[in-house]
Amino acid sequence: MLASLLASGVPALAASDPTRPPIFGGTKAKPVHQPIKLSMILKDNNNMRAIINESVVGVSDVVAGAKVTAIKDDHVVLSRDGQRITLRMPLAEVRKDSSHDE
């Protein structure tokens, strides 16, 4: 009997201990992403920018692993891992750059 336990090796140990993690983890952990925080949307003529996670970004920029796909007056759309993420701001928070108002 001892010989059969030694011959079978690790699988016998794993089967005897239900708390032991599997040898080959069949499940894949989901990646942990940094939170995304929209602070401000800036509009300078037709050039839209947003401040996300304390960085000024434009369309096509990447922040926190997400690509900025659109910036509108009251929201920003991002794409990460095939998911669409929409960050919204109250209209009162949308800023217009006054340095170009003449």
Full set of structural domains in the chain with CATH: 30-97 (2.30.30.830)
Kind plus residue range of the DSSP H or E element containing 75: strand 75-80
- Count of CA atoms in the C-beta half-sphere (13 A) of 10: 5
Q: Residue-wise over 3-28: b if at least 16 C-beta within 10 A, else e?
A: eeeeeeeeeeeeeeeeeeeeeeeeee
> 92: pLDDT confidence band, cut at 50, 70 and 90?
low
Q: Are 74 and 41 in contact, with CB atoms under 8 Å apart?
A: yes
Render pLDDT for 32-90 as a digit per residue (tens, 0 to 9).
Answer: 778 999 999 999 888 999 999 999 999 999 999 999 999 998 999 999 999 999 999 86
pLDDT recorded at residue 33: 78
pLDDT recorded at residue 29: 67
* Alpha carbons 38 and 75: distance in angstroms, whole number: 9
Which position has the higher pLDDT, 57 or 4?
57
